[in-house]
Amino acid sequence: MVKTAISIERPLCDAADATALELNVFRSQVIVIAMQEYLR
To the nearest 5 percent, what fractions of the chain are helix, strand and coil? 70, 0, 30
**Banded pLDDT at 37 (limits 50, 70, 90):** very high
Q: Where are the domains of the chain?
A: 10-39
* Per-residue buried b or exposed e for 15-36, using 16+ beta carbons within 10 Å of the residue's own CB: ebeebbeeeeeeeeebbeeeee
Handedness of CA 17, 18, 19, 21 (dihedral sign): positive
pLDDT tens digit string along 22-32? 999 999 999 99
Query: pTM for the full model?
Result: 0.80
Q: Kindly state the average pLDDT of the residues 14-40.
A: 97
